[in-house]
Structure 1
Amino acid sequence: MFTDADVAALYDVLNPWNAERPDSAFFDDLVMSAQAVLDVGCGTGSMLHQAREMGHAGRLVGLDPDRAALERARRRADVEWVEGVAADAAWDREFELATMASNAFQCFVTDEEMRSSLVAIRAALREGGRFVFETRHPQARAWEGWNPGNATEVVDGSGRRLRVSHTVESVAGGVVSLTETTSEADGEVLWVDRANLRFLDVPELRGFLDEAGFVVEEQFGDWTRGPVTDSSRVIIMIARRA
């Protein structure tokens, strides 16, 4: 058997939050400098867990629609965990910082979902509060590497040898539809998950942020705060509530 809980646990094995990684360190610095933080798409809560481990004494809130991921996040009770999507959030000027790490921003697929989510995130921020997220740069065409030939082999927490592979089903209008398949070492399929991810370039991102009432404060093309260039694989945005 392979359950929702197994999927959540496997996510942490495949995507460990490690302060030595440049992306983790980038977000850690921002979180530790803010007294009240909302992590949108918090998943299993690794970033906020790390903040507490590092001594964060303020308010930390994680929001995610995945119940199994939140159950894993709730291993720490000193963080507020909320089940739901960004568009339905109803906080009113309660946070200094809102984050979306690990490319969670790409799950806003439609224009309507994008607009309503950004409006809700802005409303949750205090005057001058910042929203920080990263998204894969479409020019890098990351989806071209998402194929069974690039499968990842891993040992999960129970000692099972697993194989995780991806297959792209379609690329249209900036949206990539794909499946993620988790199999036993012998090839027996345990789990198939489907997802849609939206790829936006800098002008498109700025357009949505401006419409929602944000001002882009900084943008980077790598985790060392370098500029966005023709070879950037990531776009990192720091936007302030206008």
Structure 2
Amino acid sequence: MPDAIFAHHRLAPVYDAFEGSRDDLTAYLDIADELSADFVLDIGCGTGCLAILLAESGRTVVGVDPAEASLQVARSKDGADRITWLHGDASALPPVGADLAVMTGNVAQVFLTDEDWSQTLQGIHSALRPGGHLVFETRRPERRAWEQWAATTPVTLNVPRIGPVEQSLHVTTVQLPLVSFRHTYKFLTENTALTSDSTLRFRSRDELESSLTACGYRVQDVREAPDRPDHEWVFICQSAD
């Protein structure tokens, strides 16, 4: 079940405003160029920011997400008609023969059980062409990102067509490898509030590499995330068959 920030019809439209310019996505365009990827799957595409950038660069793009409310936001954007949008998850992808699949942001960490993670990796593997690539980012557990989250203060933005909205973040549970937190959104014009609860799994590098090998991938490189060096890994993996 997707988190409310992605799945609730009132919260999905405010997501982009609080995420900002998404400068982190430029690195994925560069990787797609590096891998000569003409057909890209955006797994957990959300409101479609990366999918639209990829399509604007002339690529064939399929955006996949289990949250219909986020896909509705994505479909409303300029250039969205160039993209095939699929409502669902990666475990049931059709064998489309993509050159590259990507998971940005926290997508790779929302799979909390080993079974869910393996099914996701296997589903993506089946959707790639032989020798196709999977690229994803994930937070390094030793950097303890949740401690920074706990120190954040509320932020208020004037969201177009909605009005002033205040976002606050509270870490609710730390039971490693799982960390849970709650976003609260106050719609100040209406004096109403909605919450979104999330849990992420922080996997070690060894755990990730073992799981990828078991699901038919060869890890080609593990890089720093350009926008968060020393805090995140970017895995570059290739289908081993």
TM-score (norm 1): 0.87
With 199-208 and 183-192 compared, the bigger mean Cα shift is at: 183-192
Q: Superposed, which structure 2 residues align to 1:136-175 within 5 Å?
A: 136-147=139-150, 149-158=152-161, 160-175=163-178
Is contact 2:132-2:239 (8 Å) kept? Answer: yes
With 35-44 and 189-198 compared, the bigger mean Cα shift is at: 189-198
Alignment partner of 1:197: what SS? strand
> Residues of 2 paired with 1:88 and 1:159: CA distance?
35
> Residues of 2 paired with 1:147 and 1:186: CA distance?
27
Query: Cα deviations across residues 152-179 of structure 1 (Å, max 9, x unaligned)?
Result: 2222112522211111221113011111
Root-mean-square deviation (CA, aligned residues, Å) is 2.3
Corresponding residue for residue 77 of structure 1: 81
> Residues of 2 paired with 1:93 and 1:183: CA distance?
41
Query: Cα deviations across residues 20-66 of structure 1 (Å, max 9, x unaligned)?
Result: x2x2111122345411110100001111112233x31x421000000
> Residues of 1 paired with 2:200 and 2:170: CA distance?
13
Paired residue for 1:87, among 91, 111, 115? 91
Which consecutive unaligned segments of at least 5 residues does structure 1 have? 227-231
Q: Superposed, which structure 2 residues align to 1:68-217 within 5 Å?
A: 68-75=69-76, 76-89=80-93, 91-92=94-95, 94-147=97-150, 149-158=152-161, 160-185=163-188, 188-217=191-220
TM-score (norm 2): 0.87
Question: What is the aligned-residue identity percentage?
Answer: 31
> Residues of 2 paired with 1:155 and 1:134: CA distance?
30
Corresponding residue for residue 229 of structure 1: none
> Residues of 1 paired with 2:233 and 2:156: CA distance?
28
Q: Superposed, which structure 2 residues align to 1:7-86 within 5 Å?
A: 7-18=11-22, 21=23, 23-32=24-33, 33-53=36-56, 55-56=57-58, 58-75=59-76, 76-86=80-90
Is contact 1:87-1:116 (8 Å) kept? Answer: yes
Alignment partner of 1:6: what SS? coil
Which consecutive unaligned segments of at least 5 residues does structure 2 have? none
Runs of 4+ in 1 over 4 A off after TM superposition: 185-189
Corresponding residue for residue 234 of structure 1: 232
Is contact 2:163-2:189 (8 Å) kept? Answer: no
> Residues of 1 paired with 2:152 and 2:75: CA distance?
35
> Residues of 2 paired with 1:142 and 1:186: CA distance?
32
Alignment partner of 1:146: what SS? helix
